[in-house]
Chains A and B, each alone.
Chain A
Amino acid sequence: MYDAAMPPPELQRARGHAAVAFSLRGGQSRLDRLHQSGSAKAMLPASYGEGPELVFLNTAGGLTGGDALRYEVALGAGTRVTAATQTAERAYASSGGTARMDVSLTVGTGARLDWLPQETILFERAALARRTDIALAGDAVCLMVETLVLGRAAMGEVVERAEFSDHRRVTRDGCPVLVEPVRIDETVLSRRTGRATLAGARAVATLALIAPGAEDAAGRLRALPDVPGVTWAVSGWDGKCVLRAMAPDAFPLRRLVMAAIAALRPGPLPRVWTI
């Protein structure tokens, strides 16, 4: 009756993997392969812009300790695809272990990928390790955005404990061209009002265009109108144009990010950003 050997019940962990590949056929970017398993879904809604619009969705509704989510996109030479996420990704409190999220994007010669995921929202005691690897070949182009939100301002949430690492790495022909490793942990959160760190901000964003001659786009971004409450600046160098922004609230930051994305690509924003 006293079964001491009984293992504790295994907690249900979400696993998801979605992988999509495109190639150029008849002058158009065509779907080659679409794999989805577990909680990861990849959808191709009707697109009104240049090239297909790919949307990833984590049906688990968020990430918690032990979850593993993987998104992959492979673009063949000359293709042009926009990839986004259906909703903000939520990193919930972990009851043990770290959630893993891996995004692996490869962009062939002459191809362009716009990787436009929506916000990542960190909740109190979130534990998430994310890696985004973007491998460009030859003269490939990539536009990427990452927005982090610490809790929900409207709910009055203040995040004091979290273990979040977000390693963003872009290579061109194997050589790193943009490495942005972000870590938000208890130490950083305890310094949240620091004038060098978060300066009280609850939302931070990085938008980067990586392309031969991308530095020329800096002028276009600097000309964007200010959004009240958002602190931001732009720099262009070494085949990159980067906008960094922070704000006490996620909403005004999103407005600026949307304007910046629109300034750097022809056609409308992905529909998931505007609904």
Chain B
Amino acid sequence: MTADLLTLTQWLSPAFPVGAYAYSHGLEAAVLAGDVTDAASLQEWLGDVLALGAGRADATLLSAAHRGEDCGALSDTARALCASRERWAETMDQGRAFAAAAMATGDDIAAMPYPVAVGVAARRLSLATETVAALYLHGFTSTLVSAAVRFVPLGQSDGQGVLSRLHPVIEQVAAEAATAEVADIASAVFAADIAAMAHETLEVRIFRT
């Protein structure tokens, strides 16, 4: 169990070469538009993306993959759910990089959208679906907090405060996603989806998304 938790932590750590640091999920555009300006607005934005956007969708896809659902069908759905070109790139590129890097931990999995790839790889670990989903969401949130710390900018401890205050959201979304059906996935982050699209045409960009 501890060994399996260590493997999952390794896969989802910033050091694992999926290139997560390069993606902002539209946060860069939201910062430039003045939607995210400080710790409070960052927490609100991330909380909504986690509970009402890609956070819940990814956690649901990951959970279904972890429970053994057909990864071909899940991959098709994951791809069709992407709200914009860069969201599509974000999930496909990280999934591909994850599959390549997982060779190092002895895991031979095909390139699939990122949450599906993590869910499939984690099947061999003796961990609850909810735990895998929670750590995945923690990695997702942590990456975006780091992006905000550099780009808003925010103090390191302000960023960690936001991450820590989002733990209850992560916990709740992971618990619900663990048993949710893919057909139940729904979204309401209209503004974040527009920001992710607007990012494509920014003249100067630090992040890939």
Contacts and interface: CB of A to CB of B under 8 A. Distances in A.
Contacts of A231: 191, 194
Interface string A80-93: 00000000000000
B178 to A, nearest CB: 19
Given A199-B35, A236-B85, A181 B191 contact: no
A194 interface: yes
B84 A178 contact: no
Contact of A197 (B76, B80, B81, B189): B189
Contacts of A257: none
Q: How large is the interface on B (under 10, 10 to 19, 20 to 34, 35 or more residues)?
A: 35 or more
A238 B189 CA distance: 22
A207 B134 CA distance: 34
B41 interface: yes
Contacts of B192: 196-197
A191 interface: yes
Given A195-B191, A196-B48, A242 B186 contact: no
Nearest to A174: B76
Interface string B23-66: 00000001000011000010011001101110000000000000
Contact of B48 (A177, A183, A194): A194
B77 interface: yes
Interface in B119-135: none
Interface residues of B, dominant DSSP:
helix
Nearest to A194: B48
Contacts, number: 116
Interface string B177-209: 000000101111111111111101100000000
B79 interface: yes
A175 B79 CA distance: 11
A195 B41 contact: yes
B186 A181 contact: yes
B48 A197 contact: yes
A193 to B, nearest CB: 9
Contact of B187 (A183, A195, A215, A235): A183
A25 B138 CA distance: 58
A176 interface: yes
Listed residue (A175, A195, A204, A231) with the most chain B CB atoms within 10 angstroms of its CB: A195
A191 B191 contact: no
Interface in A146-197: 165, 167, 169-170, 175-184, 187-188, 191, 194-197
Contacts of A245: 194
Contact of B44 (A176, A196, A235): A196
Given A181-B187, A197-B48, A197-B191, A222 B80 contact: no
A233 interface: yes
A165 B30 CA distance: 26
Most B Cβ at <10 Å: residue of A187, A197, A244:
A197
23 contacts: A170-B80, A176-B80, A177-B80, A180-B83, A180-B187, A182-B186, A182-B188, A194-B44, A194-B45, A195-B30, A195-B36, A196-B30, A196-B49, A196-B53, A197-B189, A197-B191, A231-B194, A232-B194, A233-B198, A235-B85, A242-B83, A244-B190, A244-B197
Given A233-B198, A236-B85, 17 more contacts: A167-B183, A175-B76, A181-B185, A183-B186, A183-B187, A187-B51, A195-B35, A195-B36, A196-B30, A196-B45, A196-B189, A199-B191, A233-B194, A233-B201, A237-B82, A245-B194, A246-B191
